[in-house]
Amino acid sequence: MEANSNIGLRRFIPVEFTEHNLRFYSFVLLLVVGIGGLMLFPMHEFKGYIDPFYSPTILILPLVGLYRLTCYAYRKDYNRHVFKHPLACPAYGRMDYRPREYTGETSTIFKVENLHRYFLYGSIAVLPFFYYDVYVSLFYTGSFIFRLGSLILLINSITITLYVLSCHSLRSLVGGRMDCYSCVKGGHALKKVYNGQSILNSHHEAFAWLSLIIIVFVDLYLRGLAAGLPIDFRLIP
C-alpha cells in the first residue's frame, strides 16, 4: 500500500526532488538566490549602459532562464554532475551506485526540457535588444562616444548571438529534419546555411558557458560602476 502511494507521488513530483542529493539542493538554492537577487536588487541602467539581465525588461528573465535551463549543453552537465542521472545513454544507475529506474523522456523534467525549441523562438526575438542597448550606450551623451562599457556590452551581445545561433534546436529547424536537399526548391542554399550552422553548433557548449560567464560579468561590472568604482573610460574619441 505504501509502495503504491510512493509510486503515485512520483508521477507528480520530479524524482530529483524526492532524493537526498545535496548537489541538487545546492543547484536549486543557487538558482533561487541568483534570480531572486536580480529581482530584489534591480540594476536597470547606469550612464547609458542597460543591464543585459533587464533588457528589454526583467519580465523576459523567466523566458531566457528557461531557455538556458533546457539547453542541451547545460543539460549534459547538470544531469551528469548535479542529478547524477542519466550519466550516459546506457547507464541505468547513478554514479554513487544507488539503484534507480531510468525513465527516459517520460519524466516530468524531460517533458519541460522538450519545450526548448519554443523558448528558442522567444530568445531569438530578444536578441536585437542587446544590440539596441549597445547603440544607446554609444550615443548616451547625444553624440558618439565609445567607452569600455560599450565594448563589453558589444562582446556580450556577440557571444549571446553565437550561443543562440549555435543552438541544437535551431540546427533541427534549419535543416536537420530534411532527408534530401536537392529534392526541394532552394535546397542548395538551405544546405549551405545548415552546414554553416553546423560549424557553430560544434562549439555550442563553449558558447553556452562563455556567454553565461560574460553576462554575469556585465551585470557585476555595471553594479561596480554604479557603486563608484573607476572601471570605465573613453576609448573613442
150 binds ligand FES (CB under 6 A): no
Looking at the Cβ atoms of 100 and 168, the one nearer to ligand FES is 168
Q: Rounded to whole angstroms, how far apart are CA atoms 176 and 195?
A: 10
200 binds ligand FES (CB under 6 A): no
Taking a C-beta distance cutoff of 8 angstroms, is the pair 201, 166 a contact?
Answer: yes
Task: Name the region of 106 (left: φ>0; alpha: ψ -120 to 50; beta: rest).
Answer: alpha
Extract the C-alpha cell encoding 157: 551581445
Taking a C-beta distance cutoff of 8 angstroms, is the pair 156, 215 a contact?
Answer: yes
Looking at the Cβ atoms of 67 and 221, the one nearer to ligand FES is 67
Looking at the Cβ atoms of 120 and 154, the one nearer to ligand FES is 120
Taking a C-beta distance cutoff of 8 angstroms, is the pair 133, 52 a contact?
Answer: yes
Among all chains, which residue has been given the C-alpha cell 544590440? Answer: 131
Among 71, 126, 214, 225, binds ligand FES (CB under 6 A): 71
Taking a C-beta distance cutoff of 8 angstroms, is the pair 207, 163 a contact?
Answer: yes
CB of 72 to ligand FES, least distance (A): 4
167 binds ligand FES (CB under 6 A): yes
CB of 162 to ligand FES, least distance (A): 11
Among 10, 168, 191, 223, binds ligand FES (CB under 6 A): 168
* C-alpha count within 13 angstroms, C-beta hemisphere, residue 110: 10
Among 156, 159, 169, 211, binds ligand FES (CB under 6 A): 169
Q: Rounded to whole angstroms, how far apart are CA atoms 46 and 196?
A: 37
DSSP 8-state secondary structure symbol assigned to residue 51: P
User: Which range, of 41-49, 167-175, 220-228, 229-237, touches ligand FES by CB under 6 A?
Assistant: 167-175
81-120 footprint of ligand FES as x/- string (CB under 6 A): -----------------------------------x---x
Looking at the Cβ atoms of 67 and 83, the one nearer to ligand FES is 67
Torsion of CA 185, 197, 104, 212, to 10 degrees: -150
Among 64, 73, 214, 215, binds ligand FES (CB under 6 A): 73
Contact residues for ligand FES, defined by CB under 6 A: 71-73, 116, 120, 167-169, 204, 208
